[in-house]
Amino acid sequence: MSAPKGKKIPRQPVPEQSPKARSKSFDEVSYGYTPVMAMLEASRCLQCKKPKCVMGCPVHVAIPEFIKLVAAGEFIAAARKIKETNSLPAVTGRVCPQEDQCEKHCVLGLKNEPVAIGQLERFAADYERREGKIEIPELAPSTGKKIAIIGAGPAGLTTAGDLAKLGHEVVIFEALHKAGGVLFYGIPQFRLPKEIVDAELEYLQKMGVEIKVNYVIGKIKSLDELMADEGFDAVFVSTGSGLPYFLGIPGENLNGVYSANEFLTRVNLMHAWEFPVFDTPLHAHKTIAVIGGGNTALDAARTALRLPSTEKVMIVYRRSPDEMSARDEEIKHGKEEGIEFRYLENPVRILGADGRVTGVECQKMKLGEPDSSGRKKPIPIEGSEFEVETDAVIIALGSGTNPLIAQNTEDLKTDTEGRIKLSDADIQKTSKKGVFAGGDIVTGAATVISAMGAGKKAALGIHDYVMSQ
Amino acid sequence: MFRIVDKQELAAGVFRYVVQAPEIAKKAQPGQFVILRLNEHGERFPITIADWDSGKGTLTLFVQAIGKTSIEMSQIHVGDSILDLVGPLGLATEIENFGTVVLVGGGFGIAAIHPIARELTRVGNRTISILGARSRDLVLMQDEMKRVSSEVRVATNDGSLGTKGLVTDVLNGMIIKGESIDRVIAIGPLVMMKAVSDLTRPLKIQTRVSLNPIMVDGTGMCGACRVTVASEMKFACVDGPEFDGHLVDFDGLINRLKTYRSEEKKSLDQFSQVLDDECRLGNQ
Ligand SMILES: Cc1cc2nc3c(=O)[nH]c(=O)nc-3n(C[C@H](O)[C@H](O)[C@H](O)COP(=O)(O)OP(=O)(O)OC[C@H]3O[C@@H](n4cnc5c(N)ncnc54)[C@H](O)[C@@H]3O)c2cc1C
Ligand SMILES: Cc1cc2nc3c(=O)[nH]c(=O)nc-3n(C[C@H](O)[C@H](O)[C@H](O)COP(=O)(O)OP(=O)(O)OC[C@H]3O[C@@H](n4cnc5c(N)ncnc54)[C@H](O)[C@@H]3O)c2cc1C
Ligand code: SF4
Ligand code: SF4
Ligand code: FES
């Protein structure tokens, strides 16, 4: 079976919950394609001989090949094709910034709209999971080597899976009581249902990977102890960039001010929206102002909107819409759901009474010349201060690297920002013997797919290293 | 799962638990804490490691039953298990021979003072422990404290034991008498730690306090535990929980601890209702 080929078919829209219904619901916003829609969308692909899309994907998914399988209705084969290089397609299909990666380079995008590569990837992965057709791959015979993975985010999970396939014994140590990293505590349910993360964890466990939660490495055990006393032949550090930045302005310690990490963790990991059935509380706020313009700001804002008591959510961003780093899809969804976007405004003070937030004093900004990030630099307009009323402020300015491991490991080199330095980037090797690192702890806050890409490289590097010892 | 191997009620609502956690027991140091989660619905809450036995693989924890979670914990019995227990977290207390160290423990802050006194005495300090509580029944661990300190002094609000008054009265008495003090470590209610710091600041006696802000993850990821020290933002879970008492913004912290007052009450009220219902069921 194959659908008619040609550029004439428009990009297939994805069915979604209506903005009104979803603005108070934690259910996933997008329903994803049906098989018929997916085949139609897949038929748009030109099957380029030199596919540019593949170059835009950090892990070089075999895009035309898997799309061809989707077009032919061979969905499970398509999922397996993707998994040759991408072990979490149900996740990346949902959260990759496709418009800046694979889809940005699709030739169809020059004249028309690019192929919906992300949606097709998600479709194939979901189909395989829903049909119960996820197969445990054949594992290589046991090598007798033991590898410790520190941190169960996308980088650690990918490395663990690849090493298990190669016949190694793999143990993941995770600081929280739940594995998944940002996929679990950061990205909200309505964008990435937690069942998907759970399915991935279960898959790893079926492959024999052991996941130990409640282990803060650097505290309960050092890297040296893991290798010298516990018999690990190598260690992979993938502890992410979880350290939240604050603004450094007066009023940040008032009650009602949260880092986006705290806010999202309370809701996603601790189920605060189900308080008091779950014990972790969150205040009932009416108006919430989110400071920032990235994915984290959008996730915090859309999560805030969904809490029962919330009446109004604002995003306060100091540059213009063009400089926002959040994905276009998120911004579009946020607008549809009723979030107010305030641009070129910068908070200078958080106002309060009786120890609680009552508002934010902001200053108007204008754009100047591009700065080191290549974006136009915001410049404050003197005397333009004004007040915005709100009873909560969520600070989503991005994050720095978690210092715990580096602090407790003398011979592990880091840069001035606390990111672990690699001595050989091709295999993700660090300055310390037997220790490899990847994901946000090396790059600073980046993307799920780049963390997974690093995990893939590390798995090969670790394999060569332990087999040569 | 972490099994409770011993439990004792030391005073009304104050419990001592001994919990099986061998890997943490191996690494624990004075001044550190653990984070617990009792069950799938539970919140994560920090508790000081009051003692440990690396041979038996156990930790000793003191919990005062004051709110939903700590009351729920008080209903856990020997043989039961705690779902999640992570640690040891936070930086350890600096242990050195300073000379004469005064350790001030208020309420069940005494439990936290205990291992610190033991280590400081072991390395050769003259240690004077000042224990304070509302009345004599609430002065925890007197015998243990005597064993690990060079000297123990007590203050109770009602005068039922030791000096009538506050721990700061005893400390002030020492200062007035001109006793030499090289360092003070104070652990207890925030108002107490603040008062001790105010007393020692003009004399420039190095004073360490252990802060107890609200925490979520305990690994430096959420910033809920932020405190202001020397006008800088610090995260108590990774930069503390001990800080220089002369530089801590106590008022800011006291305000932040009020954040969830109304929610805590709601949680407790609902929980009490469930307990009542269960009691009535039990009486039938
Ligand atoms: C709110 C939010 C939304 C995002 N949205 C997107 C998106 O839409 N698309 C996208 O591509 N990217 C997104 N990102 C970025 C992406 O999630 C990260 O780049 C990615 O998760 C990094 O993966 P990682 O494996 O390096 O680290 P993480 O996912 O951060 O995982 C690190 C893990 O290590 C654990 N850990 C830390 N220290 C220790 C220790 N000492 N011992 C043991 N365990 C430890 C942590 O608890 C955590 O579980 C988002 C990030 C956030 C915060
Ligand atoms: C580093 C650290 C070490 C700690 N060590 C111990 C310990 O050894 N034993 C112990 O019982 N508790 C300790 N705590 C406090 C503990 O984590 C809980 O806050 C406490 O058990 C109350 O929890 P709850 O849910 O039962 O009560 P909640 O319902 O949360 O609170 C009940 C009442 O206590 C007040 N309160 C809440 N949290 C605190 C706090 N952190 N400090 C002071 N008052 C508070 C509330 O405002 C409220 O009035 C420690 C906290 C930290 C940060
Ligand atoms: S992994 Fe991400 S970038 Fe690569 S093809 Fe899939 S959606 Fe595109
Ligand atoms: S560039 Fe576009 S059209 Fe060409 S193979 Fe890739 S997805 Fe298909
Ligand atoms: S408790 Fe989250 S940063 Fe300290």
Chain B: closest CA distance from residue A387 (Å): 23
Task: Judge if the upstream peptide bond of residue A89 is cis by omega within 30 degrees of 0.
Answer: no
CATH 3.40.50.720 fits A146-242+401-468, yes or no: no
CATH 1.10.1060.10 correct for A6-130:
yes
Q: What are the angstrom distances between the C-alpha of A457 and each of A164, A237, A461?
A: 14, 13, 6
Residues of B with CB under 8 A from a CB of A: 23-24, 27, 37, 41-44, 68-69, 83-89, 216-224, 226, 228, 233, 238, 249, 252, 255-256, 258-260, 263-264, 266-267, 270-271
- CB < 8 Å to B41, chain A: 271, 277-279
Name the more confident of A135 and A337: A337
Can you give chain A as a three-state secondary structure string? CCCCCCCCCCCCCCCECCHHHHCCCCCCCECCCCHHHHHHHHCCCCCCCCCHHHHHCCCCCCHHHHHHHHHCCCHHHHHHHHHCCCCCHHHHHHHCCHHHCHHHHCCHHHHCCCCCHHHHHHHHHHHHHHCCCCCCCCCCCCCCCEEEEECCCHHHHHHHHHHHHCCCEEEEECCCCCCCCHHHHCCCCCCCCHHHHHHHHHHHHHCCCEEECCCCECCCECHHHHHHCCCCCEEEECCCCCEECCCCCCCCCCECEEEHHHHHHHHHHCCHHHCCCCCCCCCCCCEEEEECCCHHHHHHHHHHHHCCCCCEEEEECCCCHHHCCCCHHHHHHHHHHCCEEECCEEEEEEEEECCEEEEEEEEEEEEEEECCCCCEEEEECCCCCEEEECCEEEECCCEECCCHHHHCCCCCCECCCCCECEEECCCCEECCCCEEECCHHHHCCCCHHHHHHHHHHHHHHHHHHHHCC
Going by DSSP bridges, is the β-strand pair B58-64/B14-20 parallel, antiparallel, or unpaired? Answer: antiparallel
Q: Could you tell me which of A281, A284, A318, A326 has the C-alpha nearest to residue A304? A: A284
Q: What is the mean pLDDT of residues A24-53?
A: 94
Q: Is B256 exposed, middle or buried (0-12, 13-18, 19+ CB in 10 A)?
A: buried
pTM metric for this prediction = 0.92
- Residue B93 neighbours by CB distance under 10 Å: 22
Work out the burial of residue B114: count CB atoms within 10 Å of its CB; fewer than 13 is exposed, 13-18 middle, 19 or more buried.
buried
- Residues with Cβ < 8 Å from B74, sequence gap 6 or more? B13, B15, B63, B65
The model's confidence at residue A2, banded by pLDDT at 50, 70 and 90, is: very low
The pLDDT of residue B255: 86
**pLDDT-above-70 percentage for chain A:** 99
CATH architecture of B2-89: Beta Barrel (2.40)
Rounded Cα distance between A365 and A344, Å, is: 5
Pick the range with the lowest mean pLDDT from A24-38, A277-291, A375-389, A445-459: A277-291
Model pLDDT for residues A91-125, shown as the tens digit of each residue? 999 999 999 999 999 999 988 899 999 999 999 99
The partner residues of B35 in beta bridges, in order of sequence, read: B46, B86
Q: Is the pLDDT of residue A134 over 90?
A: no
Q: Where in chain A is the domain with CATH 3.50.50.60?
A: 146-242+401-468, 244-399
Average pLDDT over residues B204-218: 95
Tell me whether residues B84 and A404 touch, CB distance under 8 A. Answer: no
**Which ligand 5 atom lies nearest to the CA of residue A261?**
2
Q: What is the pLDDT of residue B284?
A: 40
pLDDT, tens digit, 9 for 90 and up, residues A417-437? 889 999 899 999 999 999 999
In 3D, which of A197, A154, A188 has the Cα closest to residue A447?
A154
In 3D space, the residue among B174, B157, B50 whose CA is nearest the CA of residue B110 turns out to be B50
pLDDT digits (tens, 9 = 90+) for B70-122: 888 999 999 999 999 998 999 999 999 999 999 999 987 898 999 999 999 99
> Does A281 sit behind a cis peptide bond, omega within 30 degrees of 0 on the bond before it?
no
Q: Give the Å distance between the CA of A96 and the centre of ligand 1.
A: 14
CATH code, residues A244-399 = 3.50.50.60
Give strand pairing partners of B9: B15
Cis peptide before B202 (omega within 30 of 0): no
Q: Please state the atom number of ligand 4 nearest to the C-alpha of residue A107.
A: 1
**Confidence grade of residue B266 (pLDDT, cut at 50, 70, 90):** low
Quick one: average pLDDT of A401-408?
85
Averaged pLDDT, A61-80: 97
Residues 6+ apart with CB under 8 A from A226: A148, A217, A232, A235
Size of interface A-B (CB pairs under 8 A): 118
Subunit contact A270:B43, Cβ cutoff 8 A:
yes
In this predicted model, what pLDDT tens digit does every residue of B171-199 receive, in sequence order? 999 999 999 999 999 999 999 999 999 99
Using a 6 Å CB cutoff, which residues line ligand 4?
A: A 45-48, 51-53, 63-64, 106-108, 115, 117
Q: What residues of chain B lie within 8 A of the CB of A280, using their CB?
A: 43-44, 216
Ligand 2 centroid to residue B90 C-alpha, Å: 16
Q: Which residues on A lie below 8 Å from B228 (Cβ)?
A: 253
What angle (nearest 5°) sits at the alpha carbon of residue A151, between those of residues A147 and A153? 115
Q: How far apart are CA B64 and CA B48, in angstroms?
A: 12
B165 or A277, greater pLDDT: B165
User: What residue spans in chain A does CATH classification 1.10.1060.10 cover?
Assistant: 6-130
Ligand 1 atom, smallest distance to A260 CA: 1
Q: What are phi and psi of B195, to 5 degrees?
A: -65, -40
**Residue A282: pLDDT above 90?**
no
Q: Which CATH architecture has domain B100-256?
A: 3-Layer(aba) Sandwich (3.40)
Using pLDDT thresholds of 50, 70 and 90, give the confidence band for residue B273.
Answer: low
Question: Does pLDDT of B275 surpass 60?
Answer: no
pLDDT at B258 over 80: no
- Interval A314-331 mean pLDDT: 90
Confidence at residue A416, expressed as pLDDT on a 0 to 100 scale: 85
pLDDT digits (tens, 9 = 90+) for B21-76: 999 999 999 999 999 999 888 899 999 999 999 999 999 999 988 888 888 899 99
* Nearest-CA residue for atom 35 of ligand 2: B257
Strands A356-370 and A345-353, by their bridges, are antiparallel
Q: Is the pLDDT of residue A404 over 90?
A: no
With beta carbons under 8 A apart, name residues in chain A contacting B266.
Answer: 276, 281
Domain ranges, ordered by start, for chain B:
2-89, 100-256
Percent of chain B predicted with pLDDT > 90? 71
ipTM for this prediction = 0.90
